[in-house]
A and B are shown apart, each in its own frame.
Chain A
Amino acid sequence: MLQGEHLTLTYQDGETTIDAVHDVSVAIEDHQFIGILGPSGSGKSSLLYLLSGLRQATQGEIYLDGRAYGKMSSRERVALRRGEFGFVFQQHFLINYLTALENVMVAAPVQNKAHAEQAKALLADLGMGDKLHRFPYELSGGERQRAAVARAMIHRPRVIFADEPTGLLDRRTGLQVMALLRGYRDQGSLIAVTHNPEILSEADLVIKMRDGQVIKVEDRVARKTQEAVA
């Protein structure tokens, strides 16, 4: 479904040229949970920005169902993000003057009553049914991130990109948020970037990165299958 081939992302830092991502190829199937693991500066977030269309690759190409990002206009890539992808960032990035419900509605395909009901139900499923009309500054860190998760899910995207979604949360809350995100696998794929291997314990595929390069790909589904066969 989503395929990156020989991806390289280069940028200038003063007079130095840095390869944030260097010749990385990945393939993601529907309903997969992909984890990208690595220390700070390993290029994992950059890879996520490339796959989600937020950045354009210096070299290589990305395909979604065979459609190449490089051949899409900027407008088409924006439309792609809006229609097909959902995002959860390390920071909640909720709009401060909108309530939790309104923040979720921001990402709804159409802002009508039906979607408002859907957003309410989604927030209720995420345990925020009594906090629909609270502003972000009236919510705890975990609640904010749950609202951000709801925002990422409201339009039923094919892929949710999560960039360090638990980075600012305590362990327990972080695991709760990851459980919510994992639950989305029934409807679409999840690509999560983190430096914490614990939250990727149930990932189908873990890509380990260092210095912009993939150092190891751990296909846990295949391993489990092999183990089952053995």
Chain B
Amino acid sequence: MNPLTPFAYNRRHKRRALVLTTLLALAVTGIYLVIGLLQETYIAPIYTINRYLRKFSLVQPDLATTLDPAMAAQIRAHPDVAQMLPQNNVEMAVPNAGGVDTPFRLIGLQEADVATVLAQCGVTLVEGQLPQPRTNGLALSQEIATALNLEIGDTLNRTENETGYANIVSPLELVGILSGDVRLGIVSYEYLDSHERYRNLARYGVLVIARPGREAAVDGFLRQTIRSSRTETFTYELLREKVTRDQAVLYTVGIPLVLLVTTAITLVVGATNRLAFMRRLPEFGTLHAVGRSKGWLARRLTLETAGLALAGWVLGILLAWGAMAILSAAVYTPKGFAYNPLQVTALPFVAPIPLAVIGFTLFTAVRAIGRMDAVAIVERGELSLEGKQPGRAGRDTAGSLPRPLASTTFYQRHKGQAAVLIGAMALMIVGTALMVLILEAFDDARQPMLAHLSRMSLVSPNALPLDATVRAQISAHPAVERAIPVYAFSPLGISIPPVIPNYPGEAYGVTAEDMAYLVELYRLKLAEGHLPRPNTNDIVIPWTFAQNRDIKVGDVIGNRAHPIYPDAPTLPSELVVSGIFAPAETLADETWLSFVSLEFVNDYQDYWRSDLSLAVVPRAGQRAALDTWLESQIAGESRLVFTYGNQQALFQKQASTVLFTLSLMESVISLVAALALTGLNYIFVTQRQAEFGVLNALGFSRLRLVGRIVRETLFTTGAAWLAAVLGCAVILVYLQYGLYVPAGLRLNFFNPTPWLYTLPVPAAVLAVSAVTVGRALARLDPVAVIERR
């Protein structure tokens, strides 16, 4: 039996080993869960729901309604294409487990082709029947039906989800349930084609099946040869590219979080190791005196921690897998998005934790053991934290403090310990608030997207043009100041870092008279150039868009060959930027509206695929009444009503869903942080048993001692909170001036939400510390302390 193995110390100090292992395990579990659940909630569903692209690809024209026959022939003639089937489709949304809508296509197939597609996908009908031609029947994969809460006989109806089912212009009845690895939604091609409103709305194209083993070749052909500004292709490779982009966003958010938590946990473990080391100086001094080299001692100390770090790491991953298995069964499976809990996406994110801990331990061990004087230790018999500390003598002798038991005195004399505690806590707090900070910044930045609805509401056609009676009815309403016919479309998108690469912006095609009215209404001022002239392809854009996409007066947008920025929409006819509006003075006054000539757009009506909408300006003080009337009386299957109220509610719903998910995830981090920091605080306090024992003997009550520790903890948590708030402010300033201002965006520094997220960690540490220290001091026996010495 070798008593000097690295495991001997941990075996004889099980409690300490358990605390450190648990801390590390919880940190690993926390990060693993955050990253893993973000992956499974927001990234994986994109894959899951579009997995059919591994079996076939879709090709459809970008603007025209039917695929160019020559192109269809070219695809059919490709030697690696096994089959090419006609398809039409409508897009809808399926809420993922996080409550966020994920786009999903209902594919219209001719009756004869359905069996081919099912066979190609390995999908079988397990209940009901397949959609009959020219009927509104719908067959859905079991998981999608579960996610949509549908059973055979139920209908998919737009009234149930105005946003997600916006394209379901006429109810579809679920007639069949499909089973297989691929998620599918199949409707009758003929039904979509024969239905007046679906025909206007559906996209028409082809479904391409590759010969076995030639999928990559067909994918490449479709992407490189067929895909163009006029032809959309949906292939597996393109899906992968999209997912990679989304994952990059996840990494953008995840990496700083991992760095913060890893640094904090390393500091915590480092501090506890240092304390343990100080207590074990006699052991190391003796071992060195009897012939163990300092290198051997450092190695042993490091291996002891390495064992715990690796055990904590493995345990943390197992715990995370367990938690993910429970979550998958309890939350994700009922929502149709079951996943494999043994996923490894988060592994690279948790790998730095044991490495950093081991590295830091090695560094501190080498440094401390290097300074160790074995003879002094052996001569003195015992040297603990209470002993002389190198480098302190002569430095702190400048004077005595008038209140030796004040909460600041201890940390004034233990600056290193204070720095570790405050630093670790501050990092944990920033780690907790970071994602909310970024999300809220993004949310603030996109607020102007809705600002135009603050002065008017919009009634838009859905698959069918607005009929004249409705238009007359709206115009005649007593609360309506003016009803303006507009073509609403999105010729430009803006990038809102770090999460949205292309957020579509609204442009209105209006007459010159109405344009002048709207410019006045929104108090828009031209920074340069001029407003679009009638019958010209001029466009005036907001300053933010110009800044965001580096667009100048005279630039051309919508050009197929030379997009103004990567992934810019292609327009049927180019538009020339004739003017740029000046930025608003405040974020609240910012409006992101572009204008073009209605007469010009009208000439391209067929291409725009967008029928005339009605911008409804309320009379003064009548907005609420008008919006209520529009939402209750005008909104319907063929008409969409956009008011500030319903769009803001939608924004908030999306944000609060994400915020709720983040809150759940961050509460895991908070819990880990609170436990780690409380543990550290507890260790620091228990190191001072002698001090408390003597003070108690001298007549300081336990309550008073607990009060003193609470005040000290209040001091450290307060300092950490201030440091964290400062850190968050620095991040906000960076977001504002490093990312947003160059992109023409602004955020709201006074949004209280992210700041609220800085509170749970210090509050939890304070509360749990008070309880644990209180309990520890309740057992304090001053005589035992005195006699032990």
Contacts and interface: CB of A to CB of B under 8 A. Distances in A.
Contacts of A87: 697-698
A85 interface: yes
Interface stretch (A60-68, A130-138, A176-184, A219-227): A130-138
B400 A133 contact: yes
Interface string B397-426: 111111111000110011000000000000
Contacts of A96: 385-387, 691
A63 B502 CA distance: 84
Contacts of A79: 699, 701
Nearest to B692: A95
Interface stretch (A26-34, A103-111, A203-211): A103-111
A82 B409 CA distance: 21
A61 B388 CA distance: 43
Contacts of B398: 133
Nearest to B385: A96
Contacts of B402: 105, 111-113, 116
Contact of B397 (A45, A111, A138): A138
Contacts of A135: 392-393, 396-397
Contacts of A85: 699
Interface hub of B410, B700, B786, B789 (most chain A Cβ within 10 A): B786
A82 B783 contact: no
Contacts of B782: 54
Contacts of B403: 111
A102 B401 contact: yes
A137 B393 contact: yes
A97 B783 contact: no
A135 B697 CA distance: 21
B170 interface: no
B695 interface: yes
A95 B400 contact: no
B586 interface: no
Given A96-B386, A135-B397, A55 B700 contact: no
Given A78-B699, A82-B698, A102 B786 contact: no
Contact of A101 (B385, B388, B400, B783): B400
Contacts of A99: 397, 399-400
Nearest to A105: B404
A119 B631 CA distance: 80
Nearest to A55: B783
B405 A54 contact: no
Interface in A79-95: 79-83, 85, 87, 89-91, 93, 95
Nearest to A155: B699
Contacts of A107: 698-699
Q: With a 10 A CB-CB cut-off, give which of A45, A93, A97, A116 has the most chain B CB atoms.
A: A97
B699 A81 contact: yes
A97 B388 CA distance: 10
B146 interface: no
A121 B285 CA distance: 41
A143 interface: no
Contact of B789 (A75, A81, A93): A93
Contact of B399 (A103, A112, A133, A163): A133
Interface residues of A, number: 40
Contacts of B275: none
A111 B405 contact: yes
Nearest to B389: A137
B712 to A, nearest CB: 12
A137 B698 CA distance: 21
A98 interface: yes
Interface in B192-235: none
A80 B400 contact: no
Interface in A144-183: 151, 163
A202 to B, nearest CB: 26
A193 to B, nearest CB: 12
Interface string B364-398: 00000000000000000000011111001100111
A112 B405 CA distance: 12
Contact of A91 (B388, B702, B789): B789
Given A55-B783, A111-B404, A78 B393 contact: no
Contact of A102 (B392, B404, B695): B404
B786 to A, nearest CB: 6
Interface in B693-729: 694-703
Nearest to B404: A102
Contacts of A134: 397
B700 A78 contact: yes
Contacts of B392: 135, 137
Contacts of B703: 75
Contact of A137 (B388, B702, B783): B388
Contacts of B697: 54, 81, 87
B406 to A, nearest CB: 8
Nearest to A131: B397
Given A101-B400, A102-B401, A138-B397, A78 B387 contact: no
B788 to A, nearest CB: 10
B690 interface: yes
B338 to A, nearest CB: 57
B414 A137 contact: no
B537 to A, nearest CB: 77
Interface in B234-275: none
Contact of B694 (A95, A97, A116): A95
Contacts of B700: 78, 82
Nearest to A78: B701
A26 to B, nearest CB: 19
A4 to B, nearest CB: 17
Given A49-B783, A89-B786, A137-B389, A106 B699 contact: no
A101 B409 CA distance: 14
Nearest to B413: A97
Contacts of B393: 135, 137-138
Contacts of B787: 45
Nearest to B789: A91
Given A54-B783, A135-B393, A106 B701 contact: no
A52 to B, nearest CB: 8
A43 to B, nearest CB: 13
A133 B397 contact: yes
Contacts of A102: 400-401, 404, 409
A5 B621 CA distance: 90
A7 to B, nearest CB: 15
Contacts of B696: 78
A215 B398 CA distance: 52
Nearest to A99: B400
A75 B703 CA distance: 9
Contacts of A78: 696, 699-702
A79 B703 CA distance: 12
A103 B404 contact: yes
B698 A81 contact: yes
A107 B696 CA distance: 11
A82 B694 CA distance: 12
A81 B701 CA distance: 10
Contacts of A75: 701, 703
A103 B405 CA distance: 9
Contacts of B694: 89, 93, 95
Given A54-B697, A75-B701, A98 B386 contact: no
A22 B514 CA distance: 106
Contacts of A113: 402
Contact of A98 (B399, B409, B699, B786): B409
17 contacts: A45-B787, A75-B701, A78-B696, A78-B702, A79-B699, A81-B698, A82-B700, A89-B694, A89-B789, A96-B691, A97-B414, A106-B405, A106-B698, A111-B404, A132-B400, A134-B397, A135-B392
The 5 tightest CB contacts between A and B, nearest first, are: A82-B699, A102-B404, A97-B413, A81-B699, A137-B388
Given A97-B409, A113-B402, A137-B387, 4 more contacts: A78-B702, A93-B786, A96-B691, A111-B405
Interface of B: 385-389, 392-393, 396-405, 409-410, 413-414, 690-691, 694-703, 782-783, 786-787, 789
